[in-house]
Chains A and B, each alone.
Chain A
Amino acid sequence: MKGFFIEKCIEFCICIVVIMVISYVPFVFWGNNPLSFTAFLQQIFTHGDAGNPMDMRQFPFWDKIWEPYIYSGIILLASTCLTVIIATCLSFGYVLSSLKVKKTIERCLVLIESIPDLLLIFMLQIFFVWLYKQTGINFVNIYAFGSKQAYFLPIVTMSLVPALHFFRIMVLFLLDEQNKPYVEFARAKGLSRKYILFVHLFRNVIYHLFNHLQSTFLVMISSLLLVEAAFNINGYMSFILKPFVLNPVTIAQWILLLFIPFYIVFTIAHFQVKRTTGGLANEK
């Protein structure tokens, strides 16, 4: 266990270095880069950009980012929960259904997966506007405007695509788990399929899923970026798109703020999974 944490720490340090380099390198192409690399490093670890009088547009990064960060965090958390719930329901339905239904679901999946999430977002927006025009009732906020924040629609749109992604992985593991001898034994004892699925299979599969949460996470993060831009949300991800962000210090801080919390979360999850399963589920 000690070795595990030491390795993770090394990995963490390497990643930090890589982030520094990534956020610095694009500005070499700018040509007129005001910062040397050492000055850049210093500025990151002191406090924001306040110390640089050269640029008038700069502002204390941490003050500005805090509110959008929490807001985006809420959306991300909510849509993660929704994703897991939707994917679980779908996969249970899939596993319990007959062969014929399974085939139709698979056919539809290819079609649905091909729809880009931007198309989905636009369709939903248009749909709700149409609904508003027809009925005169404003069901949901389509755009975040001023102090009014949009919650419902962003969360729903964000969780649809990752849910399908997660559903695929889940079904894969569930079907794999179904062929194991203990399921046969449970069946022989007279337990129903539903009971085995809910109690035994799900419990065993959940650890595999934890490992794949990371790939789903990346999908979610990129669709969060899109959703925030499409719904005009002043969020954490769309922060990067603003023109005044384009200086290496802010970008490094931005990426670090994204990377560190989630890295810690995934490390803890990884550790927990490893401890419970003895490392078997961790083999990727």
Chain B
Amino acid sequence: MKNSMFHSKRFWIGLSFFGGLVLASFLFTWYGKDLYSQTQVLIKGADGNVSQSAPFNPLVMPPFGSDRSGYNLFFKLIIGAKFTILFVFGICFIQLLVGTLLGSLLAYTPDSLQKFIEKVCKVYFFVPTVVLVNLFMMPLMIQSEHTGFQESIVIKQFLILCIVTLPNLILYISQEINLFMKKEYITSAIVLGARKFHLFRKHIWLSVKEILVILFLQQAVQLFTLLIYMGFFKVLIGGRKMVKDPFGGPPTAFSLTNEWSGLIGLNKNELLTAPWIILAPLVAFAISIFVLNLMVQGIKERLNTRFVPIPQKKQDSVVEEKKTTMSVDKFRFANMKPLYKGKDSSYE
């Protein structure tokens, strides 16, 4: 297993990045309470006069500055990291579990059913996922405004996110398995009398296993972007709290968990006055997506070096696969028929 993904440096860097972040986040919540709960609203100059007030820019309060109520953004981000990261990875994990199961079941169903399900899922290619998520989440959001933070809300959101992005995954996995089924060694295994389950366990699982890791990371990237979108539209993980403005303005929303996407959506209006408040969580998202992309790249390179003929990207291989099967079919059936027909017609 010299070329397995565990030998990829980028994979380990990424893994330690996320692990470290979550660990730091937990440590800070447990032991560093005075660090993150401490607020500083005013900075006094040497002569005792107030020189600056609350949203400090990153130069005054490194590394990310502070928000309007004086919390240090860096600690806020770290505290929120564990929610965001664990939430996303948890969804990915559950999705892959369910997706692989259903996807492989789907691959074994008759062709007509597969086509039907494909058609049902076609809508997903026209309606952005954000809209669907928004639709399903809205009732929950309004509920959370009344009840405050509840674990059941988080669980419901978790399930909604799982279900909304699942169909694509199922389709993808079943297509991928269908492709493997067309390989020659599978045919010979069937000829030798392999049962369906044996086939899956011994042959297909081996190839699917490798895709799953990449799929996991890609799903995570997708979910991170989805979270940004959701945060922007004020759909927050763990619900939101509405606090009425004492001066009669529109009620402002507060995140109940402090996770990253909430920080974006709630501080939208600060963009022109204190841009760092909103840019900091976005940068955090960008960094995590970048690390995930790096991991995907590292694993792909490892996998590519293993096979002697370099496998091309998926779409191409699908095209070629189909082409070869088609030409075989033609050679056997389609080519013969017109030949006989032509002869017949000429005799008539």
- Residue numbers of A with Cβ under 8 A of B are 10-11, 14-15, 18-19, 22-23, 26, 29-31, 110-111, 113-116, 118-119, 122, 125-126, 129, 172, 176, 212, 214-215, 218, 221-222, 225-226, 229-230, 240-241, 246, 251, 255, 258-259, 262-263, 280, 283-284
Question: For window 76-131 of chain B, which residues contact chain A by CB distance below 8 Å?
Answer: 116, 119-120, 122-123, 125-131
User: Which residues from chain A contact B139 at a C-beta distance below 8 Å?
Assistant: 26, 29-31
Nearest residue in A to B175 (C-beta to C-beta)? A284
The reply to whether A11 and B289 contact each other, CB–CB distance below 8 Å, is no
B345 at the interface (CB under 8 A from A): no
Tell me whether B211 is interfacial, beta carbon within 8 Å. no
- When distances are taken between beta carbons in the complex, the residues of chain B under 8 Å from A125 are 271-272
Q: Number of contact residues on B: which range applies?
A: 35 or more
Give the CA-CA distance A214 to B122 in the complex, in Å.
Answer: 11
Within 8 Å CB of A262, what residues of B? Answer: 126
Interface of A is mostly: helix
Q: Is B18 an interface residue (CB 8 A)?
A: no
Selected contact of A129 from candidates B131, B225, B272, B316, CB within 8 Å? B272
Compute how far the CA of A255 lies from the CA of B225 in the bound complex, rounded to whole angstroms: 22
Q: Is B135 an interface residue (CB 8 A)?
A: yes
Q: How far is the CB of B275 from chain A (nearest CB, A)?
A: 5
- A23 to B127 CA separation, bound complex (whole angstroms): 11
Q: Is B43 an interface residue (CB 8 A)?
A: no
Q: How far is the CB of B106 from chain A (nearest CB, A)?
A: 17
B126 touches A111 (CB 8 A): no
* From A11, A30, A119, contact of B119 by CB (8 A): A11
Whether A116 touches B316, Cβ cut-off 8 Å, given contacts A11-B119, A125-B271, is no
Which residues from chain A contact B132 at a C-beta distance below 8 Å? 22
**Chain A residue contacts of B297, Cβ below 8 A:** 110
Q: Which residues of A contact B232 (CB under 8 A)?
A: 118, 226, 229-230
* 12 A-B pairs with C-beta separation under 8 A: A14-B116, A26-B135, A31-B139, A114-B290, A116-B286, A118-B229, A122-B275, A126-B271, A172-B313, A172-B315, A255-B127, A258-B127
Q: Assess whether B271 is in contact with A122, with CB atoms less than 8 Å apart.
A: yes
